[in-house]
Copies of this chain bind each other. A is one copy, B any other.
């Protein structure tokens, strides 16, 4: 609701200090403006020669036609000369808004894909700070700088030849980053807005409600989606948390199994007294299945509404320029008619199917092998220790664990490199598609790493009490460790170690502020945040029937997580760029897949639980019969899940109608346009006219 307010603030302080005169000139008269807003900071290596800096600045302010970015540059004012401040003229902002396919409020009140030629019919078009959010303006600059390309083979002045040689159509920014000339490109914080946002966000007393629109306006799409999801997820945790508390503290735990049947089979270890009964097992399993489905379906609706509200429901990345790393034979894009590299889709799919998938499979196999090796060595060593009982073998007891940890870490590091290489060789045309496939690869591995041990305990060892203990310790320990490493450590570093560097106060000169911003560590991205949520969601949906306190613990965790993540983002890191997006990307299917796996997992956990085993033995069912029944139950539950998912539409009705309206109108418009273009060389026959 408050999103549109912040950009109203006056011209920023840099403009006040330096004046518009030291900015580069704008070629088009409509963009000459008295106040220029500095948006992005480019930090150069300290060793960069003035001639190189001059060349970079001239490229950034050069028109798009000549391979430039058509932006405004300012050389910064510090002594070292290792900064370039970038701003954007109005025309560039508007043109890129159209290229990105962003939707803005039209004069009739609907969100409509922006069109430059039709700009005067959009609301707020005269005030760029109202029309585009801060995050959008900054992303546009990044988009423009990313798409700078050499028009012909040339040399970058001031850099020795092998590094400084640019081939035609090569990305200039990538080249400069590889050559070490550009250290990083950061969007600038707007201190007043940030303070206001922080007050609303993490300093407020109330537990609920994050200022999502302000977050979106200030930080941008991907980050706003993360916090929206976190918000929604936390709220959705209430029902399972209440059920979990109820089962733990109010239901009598059933002990009917421990007494009467000792001769049947080796019963699991002793501590059966806090073990939930069959009925609570069942209730938990069915509830968690229904809950996870409804949760995901409602989130999809919310996500769709947000994408309309934030004007990103109509992004058409396939019609944009390809991402900088994309390569292929130069040709004419058959759809847009632009000259760009082309790469056939079937080649990409072939590489994914025949290279990426098997390689990922091999690494997953290595994880399993590592685990098997660990268990094998552990048994070996403990037998040995039992046999000898010496001090030496007691130390050896720790060896398998250490070896396993080292192995896992090395494997993880290798895998991260391999995943990046694989995704690069798949040569995705769109940035989002690259991210999607890269994240998927890392995600599958991380997830497997996290859950392999738990699955092993659950389904091979069939040791429910151990699983319960493991879950409890994971939930509590990871929670504490995460909060500590994510916030306390950076906070302490920020306060005590590096505070000498950037002791900035309100009256400090502008240049110091810029330098201070550049010196913060780079934001590590949302992967770690999302994977944390996903793994938690996995604990909850895959094994919650074993340990009912999972949901309350997660709820507690998330309530603090929201605040610490917000604080971290605002205070401890450089501001990241964040693209306008229409959903949370690969994470949505990841959560959905997990909620599918949870049906199976819960079914089999139920089947393997000692109570159910006894029950079926008493009923005189053969193992095969039980197995067939379990398979049937599993598939019926999956069907119920799918029916439920079908019954809750993925987008609200009003949004579906808006989408269909756009589709219908563009169909009509295409037909009309065809007529118009053909009418020039065409004489309509008189009876065709009368056919009306």
Contact = CB atoms under 8 A, between A and B. Distances in A.
Interface of A: 28-31, 90-91, 112-113, 115, 117-121, 316, 318-319, 334-336, 344-346, 349-350, 352-354, 357, 459-460, 462, 600, 604, 608, 623-625, 627-628, 631, 635, 643-644, 646-649, 653, 656-657, 660-667, 669-675, 678, 682, 684-685, 687-688, 690-691
Contacts of A608: 624
B667 A666 contact: yes
Contacts of A646: 349, 352-353
Contact of A353 (B349, B627, B644, B687): B644
A667 B316 contact: yes
B353 A462 contact: no
A459 B353 contact: no
A671 B29 contact: no
13 contacts: A28-B690, A30-B688, A30-B690, A112-B674, A119-B688, A120-B682, A316-B664, A319-B667, A349-B646, A600-B635, A604-B628, A665-B670, A669-B672
A615 to B, nearest CB: 16
A673 B671 contact: no
B604 A671 contact: no
A631 B649 contact: no
Nearest to A682: B120
Contacts of A687: 29-30
A352 B675 CA distance: 43
Contact of A647 (B118, B350, B688): B350
Closest 9 pairs between A and B when the two form their complex, measured CB to CB: A353-B647, A666-B666, A666-B670, A115-B671, A669-B673, A669-B669, A30-B687, A30-B691, A669-B670
A336 B664 contact: yes
A318, A608, A631 pick with most chain B CB within 10 angstroms: A631
B662 A670 contact: yes
Contacts of A121: 674, 678, 682
Given A667-B666, A672-B673, A675-B118, A349 B647 contact: yes
A666 B656 CA distance: 19
A670 B673 CA distance: 9
Q: Say how many copies of this protein the assembly contains.
A: 2
A434 to B, nearest CB: 17
B346 A653 contact: yes
Contacts of A657: 334-335
A671 B116 CA distance: 9
A118 B349 contact: no
A690 B26 CA distance: 13
A460 B91 CA distance: 73
A344 B652 CA distance: 11
Contacts of A30: 687-688, 690-691
Contact of A462 (B600, B624, B631, B671): B624
Contacts of A625: 460
Nearest to A658: B334
A52 B121 CA distance: 56
A177 B266 CA distance: 73
B664 A335 contact: yes
A672 B663 CA distance: 15
A200 to B, nearest CB: 34
A360 to B, nearest CB: 11
B117 A671 contact: yes
Nearest to A659: B335
Contact of A118 (B28, B624, B667, B678): B678
Contacts of A119: 688
A635 B455 CA distance: 15
Contact of A649 (B31, B112, B345, B691): B345
B113 A684 contact: no
Contacts of A319: 664, 667
Contacts of A631: 600, 604
A119 B691 CA distance: 11
A661 B31 CA distance: 34
A346 B656 CA distance: 12
A414 B327 CA distance: 62
A644 B357 CA distance: 11
A345 B656 contact: yes
Contacts of A643: 353, 357
Contacts of A685: 120
A113 B673 CA distance: 13
Given A117-B675, A675-B118, A349 B666 contact: no
A112 B344 CA distance: 25
A690 to B, nearest CB: 6
Given A669-B670, A669-B673, A690 B29 contact: yes
B674 A115 contact: yes
Contact of A671 (B118, B316, B624, B682): B118
Nearest to A662: B670
Nearest to A118: B675
A605 to B, nearest CB: 12
A109 to B, nearest CB: 14
Nearest to A679: B118
Contacts of A688: 30, 119-120
Given A608-B624, A670-B669, A318 B690 contact: no
A661 B334 CA distance: 7
A119 B113 CA distance: 30
Contacts of A673: 665, 669, 672-673
A649 B349 contact: yes
A356 to B, nearest CB: 10
Nearest to A652: B346
A367 to B, nearest CB: 15
Contacts of A29: 687, 690
A598 to B, nearest CB: 14
B628 A460 contact: yes
